[in-house]
Structure 1
Amino acid sequence: MPSVVIKYVQIVEAINYRLGRVVMYVIFAMIGVLLWSSISKTFFLPSLWTLETAQFLMVAYYILGGPYSMQLGSNVRMDLFYGEWTPRQKAWVDAFTIFFLIFFLGVLLWGGINSTAYSLEYAERSPTAWRPYMWPIKIVMIVGIFLMLLQATVEFLRDIARIRGLTL
């Protein structure tokens, strides 16, 4: 494989690996927020911000952790036929089906960018009592979708290498 491709794969995987390792600890922040929510509802006045903050943290955890999960190969596959195939057959099928993922992520990214632009332009707020701005979580979603798109291209390049009998 060309050195540019190898460097691209190394850079994307390094970014997704490091970010994934950091984001995995967001679950503890979410636990803390939900714990505070339970405590405040029981002993004090209920907090307005806890539910939405927990939701935003979960979105960040899920969206930013997706590329790391894909990199580790921990995504779910239908193993009815796939498990019996040779690595080369798997690479052919993966190289074909990754285009559907790339198309989906491209549409999602395009919609996310438009939604974020709207959010920034009109200072969109959540319709809840707390009323946080929506643009920060939308930016997190755009970054996560973009990184997932980059990781999908890396997986495609890996499949091409496997088809050619190479490792990447």
Structure 2
Amino acid sequence: MEILKKIVWFTDSLGIAVAKCVKWLILFFVIITIFDVCLRYFFQAPTLWARELVALLFGPMWMLTGAYLLITDEQVRMDLVFHRFSNRKKAIFDLITFSLFFFYFGTIVFYGWQDWYTGLIHNEHSRSVWRPVLWPFKLAIPVGVSLLLLAGIGKYIRDLYTAITGRDWNGN
């Protein structure tokens, strides 16, 4: 049991650490956007790259923070009936629904790595005027979903423990 707890702790720590690093992109978005707005409105000289760069970085920010939302149980869920369940029933329900989670996100990881690799091999660029390379941005899809999958495995292990014992992971 201690080995499982260490594995879950490691995967949770990894997802949380990545999200804490990525959150600083928001400050970068604000600085770039203010810079572009100032150039556009005060100097009538908008940039060609600022809006696209913010858009290109916004996707990776969301992809790389998904695991954090699952770890902290902040994901969107239909709580019409779910919140009335006991912890054991919630865990059993999550165990059932997570079989779809693993299939869906496993498929995204598989094809995400293929898409990233294809973009890397072909040195794929955007079709915009400044033509940034796209593979670094595409890398966020398989990495972020892999982190989400690891967080899902941790959640699955915690739910399995709760379903079997009736206690939550922390022993309550």
**Normalised by the shorter chain, which TM-score bucket?**
over 0.9
Larger mean CA deviation between 66-75 and 20-29 belongs to 20-29
The 3-state SS of whatever aligns with 2:129 is: coil
Structure 1 window deviating more from structure 2 (70-79 vs 35-44): it is 35-44
1:91 aligns with 2:87: no
Q: CA deviation at 1:94?
A: 0.4
How far residue 45 of structure 1 moved from its aligned partner, in angstroms, is: 2.0
TM-score normalized by the length of structure 2 = 0.92
The AA in structure 2 aligned to 1:123 is N
More displaced, 145-154 or 134-143? Answer: 134-143
Q: How does 1:20-99 map to 2 (within 5 A)?
A: 20-42=19-41, 43-99=43-99
Q: Does residue 20 of structure 2 align to residue 7 of structure 1? A: no
For structure 1, the residue ranges without an aligned partner over 5 or more in a row are none
Please give the root-mean-square deviation of Cα atoms over the aligned residues, in Å: 1.3
5+ residue gaps, structure 2, are: none
Which amino acid is 2:8 matched to?
V
Shift of 1:3: 2.5
Shift of 1:122: 0.9
Q: Post-superposition shift, 1:44? A: 4.6
Partner of 1:151: 151
Aligned-partner SS, 2:139: helix
Whether the 8 Å contact between 2:19 and 2:64 is mirrored in structure 1 is yes
Moved over 4 A (4+): none
Counterpart amino acid of 2:22? V
Q: Are 2:126 and 2:133, in contact at CA under 8 Å, matched by a contact in 1?
A: yes
Q: Deviations over 1:89-117 (max 9, x none)?
A: 10000011111111111111111111111
Identity of aligned residues (%): 25
CA offset digits 1:133-153 (Å, max 9, x no partner): 111011122211110010011
| Letter of the 1:12 counterpart | T
